[in-house]
Structure 1
Amino acid sequence: MNKVGGIFLFGGSGFIGTRLADRLDSKCHHFLIIDKSRSIKYPGKTFIADVRNALQVHAEVFPNSVIVNLAAEHRDDVSPKVLYDQTNVQGAMNVCDLARSKGVNKIIFTSSVAVYGFALLGTDESGAIAPFNAYGRTKWEAEQVYKKWQAEDPHKRTLVIIRPTVVFGERNRGNVFNLLRQIASGKFIMIGDGLNRKSMAYVENVAAFLEYSLDFKPGVHIYNYIDKPDFTMNALVKHVNKLLGMSSDIKFRLPFSVGLLIGSCFDLVAKIIGKKFPISTIRVKKFCANSVYESAVESTGFIPPVTLMDAIEKTVRFEFIEDHKIEQVFYSE
């Protein structure tokens, strides 16, 4: 790490952070991963620390550096719920305090489209803020913390806020992987009519845009991140079936009301026995909801390195056709 400059990746051991580190490493950028757990791929470039106590890395950070904050509590079922506030909001305060004390004038923050809640179709960066859960609420509150920091010296400080939709890709064990695994098993059950559309984001493209934003000038830059086109659930399932050499027909369907009832039953059992299940009311609602966003990313001149169709094929091949059993995986929503 140079004494002046460098890129500090809070939460850099995770899914997006590792992809971003790959890109930075390939171009010989000086970077340090700051995380609660050591990066498996970059152990020698990891400093063990928690964003809830960002000043632990005070001596490691130098003026003219860039802070990228990827650290977050993001699952639907985090307990106790105060962890959302401690990590997402207090963590933002801690990062800003660190930036102030070390003369850092550029912060890149990964927020989420969850700040919009169950958004109207085509919601862009000017959309109404209406989070429906603690994750979305605390991401929005964190954005306000960073905006306050930038406003203290607006002609020198750069703030980039990136709100990705659901991020998928090779090695991720989140909701998209669970969907793909169900389809690959041949036992997939469609809840609802399958006409709802979903915006998605490929991890390599998100990492590439984070890297691209390193060059943004002073000011506040807020972007949704989505890879187009948006698929209906029916079209996505049929496309994956085709990639796997299976019939494109969707064999099993349940009405939304029945799916919601099943989710409620799992919620009740989970509350009684204290065990978490992959099925819940909120997950059924999220699965059946439209989740379509628009973005001003194109106006920056950024071109995603991978098309969405290719990204889905790469992910399906990696996870269900090729053999990558010894590869590191990342668990998220």
Structure 2
Amino acid sequence: MLKSHDGLVNDDILKVNVVGGAGFIGSRLCKRFARGGVDFFITDKNISVEFGSKTKVADVTNLEMLKDAIRDNSIIINLAAEHRDDVFPLSLYDDVNVLGARNLCTSATEGGATKIIFTSSVAVYGFAPLGTDESGEIAPFNDYGRTKWEAEQVYKNWQAEDPQKRTLVIIRPTVVFGERNRGNVYNLLRQITSGKFLMVGDGLNRKSMAYVENVAAFLQYSLDFKPGIHIYNYIDKPDFTMNALVAHVNKLLGRSAEIKFRLPYSIGLLIGSGFDLVAKITGKKFPISAIRVKKFCANSVYESAIEATGFVPPVPLMEAIEKTVRFEFIEDHKGEQVFYSE
């Protein structure tokens, strides 16, 4: 059973297949489904830690495995992706993100599915102008953004084959953070809490962020969308400057909000390039790279049309940051499952 927008439960509703449901966003989404009585199952190359009995093991790059996992007439939410900055070989982006989309559409067609919800990314816009919304220019700067955009076209072609019956929802989140995630936001928070954080640049650049619980809530909300193509950026407001974010975290830890040390952007970029060279020679991976310095210092402020749908995020952004800091750096959660991403 699925919940409608007004919170009531609808009968005679199809099952939801969460592809990539064992991952960071997927695990959070499945918890919401379990609490809300949504009939779901998981398709993933890994068995879900919390919902193992509901997991069908399949890789999106393997069409036959995926066909077997896509059950008749289910709603499909695709969260599977290759997304790290240090992926090797680069062909994995195309294999997982684009070929995976083709395989999923083929499986959906044969399985009778008429609704696909796809998590793309604001990376399709590249280094976008401030305030870029869903109509923004598509200009990805890396293979991740490029292959997410190409995957969107695959899904659009699928929807166009039967536009009166098929529903496609494309959600483009900005950087997603939250408890148990070991991505870029966690690494930033860890540096701040360690007391060894060094600001690169003037810190005036603003960052759009998305809390995992809110992203999961909107994915659930979009289950009721009607036939057609629905495209939304996902951002939690307000957009903090790096200075404001660092100051707020320091206050949570009972420290001075003052940022004492700053490194000029040009020097930071030079250091990142040096690590890239060493990584290329040795084959080792480092937490510092030129692209990560660029991403850290860039403005990434987006707008979204989501408000027009009536959706209200369940957790305010400031509260989400506080919950994450408390969980990761104040409370004791050693031994619990974590997720690695960008």
When the two structures are superposed, what TM-score results if normalisation uses the length of structure 2?
0.95
Equivalent residue pairs, number: 333
Partner of 1:58: 67
My pick for the range that moved more, 54-63 or 23-32, is: 54-63
Q: CA deviation at 1:113?
A: 0.2
Letter of the structure 2 residue corresponding to residue 93 of structure 1? R
**Which secondary structure does the structure 1 equivalent of 2:341 belong to?**
coil
Q: Identical aligned pairs, as a percentage?
A: 75
**Match of 1:9, SS?**
strand
> Do the aligned partners of 2:58 and 2:69 also contact (CA within 8 Å) in 1?
no
Within the candidate set 156, 167, 180, 2:165 is matched to 156
2:330 maps to: 321
CA contact (8 A) 2:17 2:74 kept: yes
Q: Distance in 2 between matches of 1:329 and 1:239?
A: 24
Structure 1 counterpart of 2:140, from 106, 122, 131: 131
Counterpart residue number, 1:236: 245
* Alignment map for 1:266-281 (pairs within 5 Å): 266-281=275-290
The alpha-carbon distance between structure 1 residues 54 and 8, as it changes in their structure 2 partners (threshold 3 A), is farther
Tell me if the contact between 1:5 and 1:62 (Cα under 8 Å) persists in the aligned partners: no
Partner of 2:23: 14
**Partners in 2 of 1:8 and 1:56 — Cα distance?**
14
SS of the counterpart of 2:302?
coil
Unaligned runs of 5+ in 1: none
Of the three residues 272, 287, 291, the one matched with 2:296 is 287
- Which letter does structure 1 place at the counterpart of 2:25? I
In the alignment, the residues of structure 1 paired with residue 63 and residue 227 of structure 2 have an alpha-carbon distance, to the nearest angstrom, of 23
For residue 4 of structure 1, report the CA deviation from its aligned partner: 8.2
* Cα distance in 2, alignment partners of residues 298 and 192 from structure 1: 33
Aligned equivalents of 2:69 and 2:208: distance in 1? 38
CA distance in 2, matches of 1:244, 1:300: 37
8 Å CA contact 1:110–1:163 kept in 2: the answer is yes
CA apart distance, 1:73: 0.3
CA shift, 1:53, in A, is 1.6
Select which of 306, 320, 339 maps to 1:297.
Answer: 306
Contact 1:4–1:62 (Cα < 8 Å) also in 2: no
Contact 1:205–1:305 (CA under 8 A) maintained in structure 2: yes
Q: In the alignment, what sits opposite 2:269?
A: 260
- Which stretch shows the higher mean deviation, 43-52 or 134-143? 43-52
Is the CA contact 2:47–2:55 (under 8 Å) kept in the aligned structure 1? Answer: yes
Q: CA deviation at 1:60?
A: 4.4
Please say if residues 43 and 69 of structure 2, whose CA atoms lie closer than 8 Å, have aligned partners that are also in contact: no
SS at match of 1:262: helix
Counterpart position of 2:179: 170
User: Secondary structure of 2:170's match?
Assistant: strand
Partners of 1:37 and 1:62 lie apart in 2 by 18
Aligned residue type for 2:127: F
Q: Which amino acid aligns with 2:266?
A: S
- Alpha-carbon separation, structure 2, partners of 1:225 and 1:61: 27
1:105 and 2:105 are equivalent in the alignment: no
Instruction: Check if 1:25 corresponds to 2:16.
Output: no
| 2:249 is the counterpart of 1:247 | no
Q: Is the 8 A contact 1:118 1:291 kept in 2?
A: yes
CA distance in 2, matches of 1:283, 1:102: 41
How far 1:174 sits from its partner (Å)? 0.1
Is the 1:4–1:64 contact (alpha carbons within 8 Å) kept by the matching residues of 2? no
Could you give the per-residue CA deviations for residues 208-251 of structure 1, whole angstroms, max 9, x where no partner exists?
00000000000000000000000000000000000111111112
- 1:53-92 pair list within 5 angstroms: 53-92=62-101
Contact map agreement 1:5 1:63 (CA 8 A) in 2: no
Please name the residue that 2:9 is paired with.
none
Q: How far apart are 1:54 and its partner, in Å?
A: 4.2
2-structure distance, mates of 1:188, 1:289: 18
Q: Is 2:239 the partner of 1:227? A: no
Pick the aligned partner of 1:145 from 154, 177, 189.
154
In 1, Cα distance between equivalents of 2:54 and 2:177: 25
In structure 2, runs of 5+ residues without a counterpart are: 2-11
CA distance in 1, matches of 2:19, 2:111: 16
- What secondary structure is seen at the aligned counterpart in 1 of 2:118? strand
Q: Residue in 2 aligned with 1:35?
A: 44
Asked if structure 2 preserves the Cα contact closer than 8 Å seen for 1:85 and 1:138, the reply is yes
Please tell me the root mean square deviation across aligned C-alpha atoms, in Å.
1.4
Q: Do the aligned partners of 2:63 and 2:103 also contact (CA within 8 Å) in 1? A: yes
Give the residue type in structure 1 aligned to 2:167. T
